[in-house]
């Protein structure tokens, strides 16, 4: 992998990821951009013991532009975008409308009950391909592997920032999920705190270890592999399964067979193997109904400074689509109480995904 770092006209960093033998010329950003907002702040919820991020400037972010106005496509001719180069393989840049910013300013003082803090951290955009009409599922295994390497690189780099406590790589796909740009891309959030979901999982893992002496995530993986009925696909280094406790209509977890805590710890074989298995699972998703499935793909990694003895890297892939023309909405029980009620059985979803298997292309064989 070859990295080329540059800066956009408002000072944001942009990083191109290419194959080792690819050359890359410098292409300056010729746009006249206003400064990036630094007004993000945190407020602590004493009822749930959680931080809430307030970023009101994001109301003005780009929303579902026409393909000809996509800000994630390469810059060509007189059309200037977030990517100054006329083409790219994988590119990462700081978000123009960040929820968190390294330069976030200290907000007005809160109270002893509800303290406030600057929303310091970093938000990055990861463009998986320059092809506006593609998706992660249409990437080649080599291109998908380059994305994995970019995730690993950014996780390692962002973890070095003194304000960062957790790095979260994710993809939102589909308007039903709330995506505002249709170009194939994901995001990375570098939080100044440990997120609530991670804190809950690590607390559960600690209690499980204290009770059994074993790793909770490894036990979940072992139980699913032994049962087999919810396994969607597996390979030499990874298993994809619908968990017995799935709460979303379509939900698949991808676990490496070796316990690691973050993406940078994956070796070359595990990264190659993940790229192929993940593409297989995504293509199964897209064959379930009459059009591509909306989803959220969320990497669970260990926080920067805690939980490394308990964490187990895995990816959760979930969709709100419960039927071809029906979505799962978070209604009273889910939104009001956080108690999920699902009307599909994990075993049935796993069977449908196995049946939706795709034959490997000649390139993948």
CB 335 within 8 A of CB 219: no
**Is 300 one of the annotated binding-site residues?**
no
CB 277 within 8 A of CB 238: yes
**Is 73 one of the annotated binding-site residues?**
yes
**Is 132 one of the annotated binding-site residues?**
yes
Going by the DSSP 8-state scheme, the letter that residue 332 receives in this structure is I
Going by the DSSP 8-state scheme, the letter that residue 293 receives in this structure is P
Percent helix, strand and coil across the chain, each to the nearest 5: 30, 25, 50
**From 185, 237, 300, 314, active-site residue:** 185
Pairwise CA distance, residues 222 & 215, whole Å: 11
What are 3's strand-pairing partners? Answer: 17
Q: Can you tell me which residue has the tokens 């799935």?
A: 246
**Is 127 one of the annotated binding-site residues?**
no
Q: Is 185 a catalytic residue?
A: yes
Q: How many other CB atoms are found less than 10 A from the CB of residue 36?
A: 17
What sign for the dihedral angle of Cα 105, 110, 113, 114?
Answer: negative
Closest CA relative to residue 189, chosen from 161, 228, 229: 161
Closest CA relative to residue 278, chosen from 229, 328, 316, 332: 316
- In degrees rounded to 5, what are phi and psi of residue 251? -145, 125
Using DSSP, state whether 355 is helix, strand or coil.
helix
The tokens describing 129, both together, are 């391909």
If phi over 0 gives left and psi between -120 and 50 gives alpha, with beta otherwise, what is residue 236?
alpha
Catalytic site positions: 185
Residues making up the annotated binding site for Zn(2+) are 70, 73, 132, 183
Residues making up the annotated binding site are 70, 73, 132, 183
């Amino acid at each position: 992998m070859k990295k080329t770092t540059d800066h956009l006209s408002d000072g944001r960093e942009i990083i191109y990821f290419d194959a080792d033998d690819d050359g890359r010329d410098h292409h300056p950003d010729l746009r006249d951009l206003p400064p990036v907002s630094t007004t993000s702040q945190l407020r602590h919820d004493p009822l749930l013991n959680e931080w809430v991020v307030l970023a009101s400037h994001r109301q003005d972010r780009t929303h579902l532009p026409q393909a000809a106005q996509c800000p994630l496509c390469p810059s060509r001719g007189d059309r200037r975008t977030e990517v100054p180069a006329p083409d790219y393989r994988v590119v990462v840049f700081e978000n123009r409308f960040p929820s968190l910013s390294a330069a976030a300013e200290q907000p007005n003082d809160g109270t002893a009950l509800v303290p406030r803090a600057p929303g310091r951290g970093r938000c990055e955009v990861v463009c998986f391909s320059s092809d506006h009409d593609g998706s992660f599922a249409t990437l080649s295994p080599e291109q998908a592997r380059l994305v994995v390497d970019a995730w690993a690189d950014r996780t390692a780099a962002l973890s070095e920032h003194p304000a960062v406590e957790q790095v979260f790589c994710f993809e939102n796909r589909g308007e039903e999920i709330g995506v505002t740009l249709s170009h194939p891309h994901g995001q990375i959030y570098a939080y100044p705190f440990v997120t609530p979901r991670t804190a809950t999982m690590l607390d559960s893992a600690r209690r499980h270890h204290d009770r059994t002496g074993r790793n909770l995530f490894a036990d979940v993986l072992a139980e699913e592999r032994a049962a087999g009925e919810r396994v969607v696909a597996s390979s030499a280094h990874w298993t994809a399964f619908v968990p017995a406790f799935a709460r979303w209509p379509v939900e698949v977890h991808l676990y490496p067979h070796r316990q690691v805590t973050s993406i940078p710890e994956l070796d070359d074989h595990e990264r190659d193997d993940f790229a192929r298995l993940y593409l297989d699972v995504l293509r199964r998703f897209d064959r379930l109904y009459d059009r591509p499935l909306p989803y959220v793909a969320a990497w669970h990694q260990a926080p920067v400074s805690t939980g490394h003895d308990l964490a187990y890297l895995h990816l959760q892939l979930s969709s709100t689509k419960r039927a071809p023309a029906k979505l799962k909405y978070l209604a009273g029980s889910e939104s009001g109480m956080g108690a999920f009620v699902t009307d599909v059985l994990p075993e049935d979803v796993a069977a449908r995904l196995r049946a939706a298997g795709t034959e490997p292309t000649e390139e993948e064989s």
